[in-house]
Amino acid sequence: MKPIFITGTDTGAGKTLVTGLLAKYLFEAGKSVITQKWVQTGSRKPDDVLQHTRISGMKYDSLNEKYISSYIFKLPSSPHLAAKNERRIIDTKNLLLSTVQLSKKYEYIIIEGSGGILVPLTEKVLTVDLIKKSKASVILVVLNRLGAINHALLTLEALKKRRIEISGIVFNNISEASEKILEDNASIVRKITGIKNCFMLRNMKEPYVLDAGINSFFKETLKKRI
């Protein structure tokens, strides 16, 4: 089973939330699922993966921690700089091998990216390069606000240029922009790209309950995961 990669248009777009919700959907359906964060920055713990478990209700697999969060850095920056700050080097081959190791135990691997797809993991390797090598499909989380159209289309264009499968788009409505703008952002991106599997996420907070709309989005997202 090919992995699913969750990326975003901006910092704070909602990648962690969407990763946790997708894991929850699969977990509640009785599927074998694990989340992964190739590089965690801004902490000394695998904060994002721990948040995935809180959202999904899954237990944290401490036995596979070295694969789940292969690199953890304190500096809240892009991976290449966070690693450089600690005089460490990110081995991107190791990241791919970690995903392979998890796939031996779990049917579904959901990878949350660090920032957007063009964020550098090293001075020579971008996140999108590793997405391509992992053969993952992508869910794009769009921070839905004024300016989101440009951010979304640039990301989608970069993915299409590299022939990376796009499974769906989540428009995360957490800004104070008018409803007219938020609705049009999603509508025009769908029309321009032809991507029909889109979902509007509206200020979801704890306790996290999956409604019919997001269940339908995830069901469509997973259709091509074989």
Helix ranges restricted to H, the chain? 15-28, 47-56, 65-68, 79-85, 92-103, 127-134, 148-161, 179-193, 212-221
Dihedral over alpha carbons 89, 60, 57, 10 (to 10 degrees): -10
Cα-based distances in Å from 215 to 187, 206, 222 = 20, 17, 11
The alpha carbon of 153 is separated from its chain's Cα centroid by a whole number of angstroms, namely: 17
Q: What Cα–Cα distance (Å) separates residue 201 from each residue in 126, 135, 183, 211?
A: 28, 27, 11, 11
Residue 135 falls in the annotated catalytic set: no
Tokens of 80: 């290449």
**Active-site residue (options: 2, 37, 132, 180):** 37
Assess whether the previous peptide bond of 207 is cis (omega < 30° from 0). yes
Supply the residues annotated as catalytic.
37
